[in-house]
């Protein structure tokens, strides 16, 4: 059997075992604190210095940069190392797929990365850790060191469009794959959610691994409700066996 091209769409659920809370689940951040949504909404962030200050304090307090990859991230990286053609399309901004060993060029970050900052004026980029060190040293809203513009996380905020080049890459991979695995994603946020349907339309075997039902379950060839940390490694091992 020919090597399968496996596309894996990952959402917040794949990273909860790493200590990063999801946003929309029963205990998700947006349900607990609707005000927190303003901190990552472009219009509020750009227009209100107090929102920016709160946003930087939130980043200092959150654990995304301290988190390490878990068994599910490692299983995906191992699949790639085994020689199986794998592409990861992720809605996450935590960089954990790359930390687990996935080559960065094989990871498409739909919503950007929380590990970098970008200037909203001159588009200069730099490490998030450097910006957070400036906040800890007393700058409550650190400006761009190049031009003095407003710095933001290099993530796609609410109210911002996805990068069309990045989205185009994700669409191309989705159309080309033979197996499409949606893992830890509610498949409710477009356009990422639509990739599952697009994969099915192009003849891919659609597998959904998620605790809660999704709008695409009825189109899936297989739906797995078990915990991701154990279910995904088992599933990927089975795929490796099938293509051997």
Active-site annotation holds for 74:
no
The three-class DSSP label of residue 65 is helix
CA–CA separation, 1 and 87 (whole Å): 19
Q: Kindly give, in sequence order, each residue whose CB lies less than 8 Å from that of residue 203, ignoring residues fewer than 6 positions away.
A: 178
Q: Do the bridges between strand 6-10 and strand 205-209 make them parallel or antiparallel, or are there none, so unpaired?
A: unpaired
Closest CA to 9 of 168, 186, 212, 241: 186
Q: How many CB atoms lie within 10 A of CB 165?
A: 8
Whether residue 91 contacts residue 110, with contact meaning beta carbons closer than 8 Å, is answered with: yes
Which residue among 74, 97, 111, 202 is the active-site one? Answer: 111
Angle (CA) 198 204 205, round 5° = 120
Q: What are phi and psi of 138, to 5 degrees?
A: 120, -5
Tell me which residue of 20, 38, 29, 42 sits closest to 162, measured CA to CA: 42
Residues with a known catalytic role: 111
């Amino acid at each position: 059997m020919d090597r399968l091209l496996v596309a894996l769409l990952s959402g917040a659920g794949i990273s909860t075992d790493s200590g990063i809370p999801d946003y929309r689940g029963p205990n998700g951040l947006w349900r607990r604190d609707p005000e927190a949504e303003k901190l990552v909404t472009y219009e509020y962030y750009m227009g209100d210095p107090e929102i920016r200050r709160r946003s930087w304090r939130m980043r200092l307090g959150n654990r995304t940069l301290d988190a390490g990859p878990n068994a599910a991230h490692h299983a995906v990286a191992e699949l790639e190392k085994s020689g199986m053609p794998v592409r990861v399309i992720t809605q996450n901004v935590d960089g954990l797929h790359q930390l687990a060993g996935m080559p960065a060029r094989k990871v498409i970050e739909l919503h950007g990365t929380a590990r970098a900052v970008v200037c909203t004026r001159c588009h200069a980029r730099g490490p998030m850790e450097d910006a957070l060190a400036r906040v800890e040293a007393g700058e409550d809203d650190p400006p761009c060191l190049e031009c003095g513009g407003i710095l933001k996380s290099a993530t796609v905020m609410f109210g911002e469009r996805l990068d069309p080049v990045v989205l185009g890459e994700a669409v191309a991979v989705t159309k080309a794959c033979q197996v499409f695995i949606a893992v830890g994603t509610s498949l409710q946020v477009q356009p990422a959610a639509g990739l599952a349907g697009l994969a099915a339309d192009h003849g891919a075997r659609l597998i959904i691994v998620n605790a809660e039902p999704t709008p695409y379950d009825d189109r899936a060839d297989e739906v797995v409700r078990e915990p991701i940390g154990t279910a995904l490694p088992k599933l990927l091992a089975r795929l490796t066996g099938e293509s051997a």
